């Protein structure tokens, strides 16, 4: 019963470095999401994918790219990390568009120095 698995759990980067956050779900869900969570600001949607092969921008997409590799996996890439991207990142999946509940991973804490 893994659910949504995110890796890595912790990462420290220097400004300008790149990295990819990995997310996989084993619930056969169509929709997947990436959020970031900052103190006092709640969860903000970065990108989402309604189905394999499609991705859409959310509220704060700048500085990020995503890939829906297959139905199970949805990765988030920071090409040139900036201190403003220091945050906790959550991946989530959902069985249905709009009305589906989200199942979240445990989060990836990223610090950019």
Partner 1 sequence: SQKIEQNSEALNIQEGKTATLTCNYTNYSPAYLQWYRQDPGRGPVFLLLIRENEKEKRKERLKVTFDTTLKQSLFHITASQPADSATYLCALSPSNNNDMRFGAGTRLTVKP
- Give the separation between CA 83 and CA 51, rounded to whole angstroms: 31
Q: Which residue has the tokens 């704060």?
A: 60
- Which residues would be at the binding site for partner 1 (CB under 8 A)? 4, 31, 33, 35, 40-45, 48-50, 56, 58-59, 90, 92, 94, 97-99, 101-107
Question: Least distance (Å) from partner 1 to the CB of residue 57?
Answer: 9
Q: Which residues pair with 11 in a beta bridge?
A: 110
Contact 11, 19 (CB under 8 A): yes
Question: Least distance (Å) from partner 1 to the CB of residue 42?
Answer: 4
For partner 1, give the closer residue by CB, 35 or 64.
35
Give 78's Cβ-side CA count (13 Å radius): 26
For partner 1, give the closer residue by CB, 14 or 101.
101
Question: Least distance (Å) from partner 1 to the CB of residue 9?
Answer: 10
3-state secondary structure of 94: strand
For partner 1, give the closer residue by CB, 15 or 57.
57
């Amino acid at each position: 019963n893994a659910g949504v698995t995110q890796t890595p759990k912790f990462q420290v980067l220097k400004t300008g470095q790149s990295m990819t956050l990995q997310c996989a779900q084993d619930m056969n869900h169509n929709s997947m999401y990436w959020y970031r969570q900052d103190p006092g600001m709640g969860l903000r949607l970065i990108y989402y994918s309604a189905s394999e092969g499609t991705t859409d921008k959310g509220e704060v997409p700048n500085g990020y790219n995503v890939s829906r590799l297959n139905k199970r996996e949805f990765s988030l890439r920071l090409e040139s990390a900036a201190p403003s991207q220091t945050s906790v990142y959550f991946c989530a999946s959902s069985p249905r568009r709009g009305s589906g509940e989200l199942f979240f991973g445990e989060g990836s804490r990223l610090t950019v120095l």
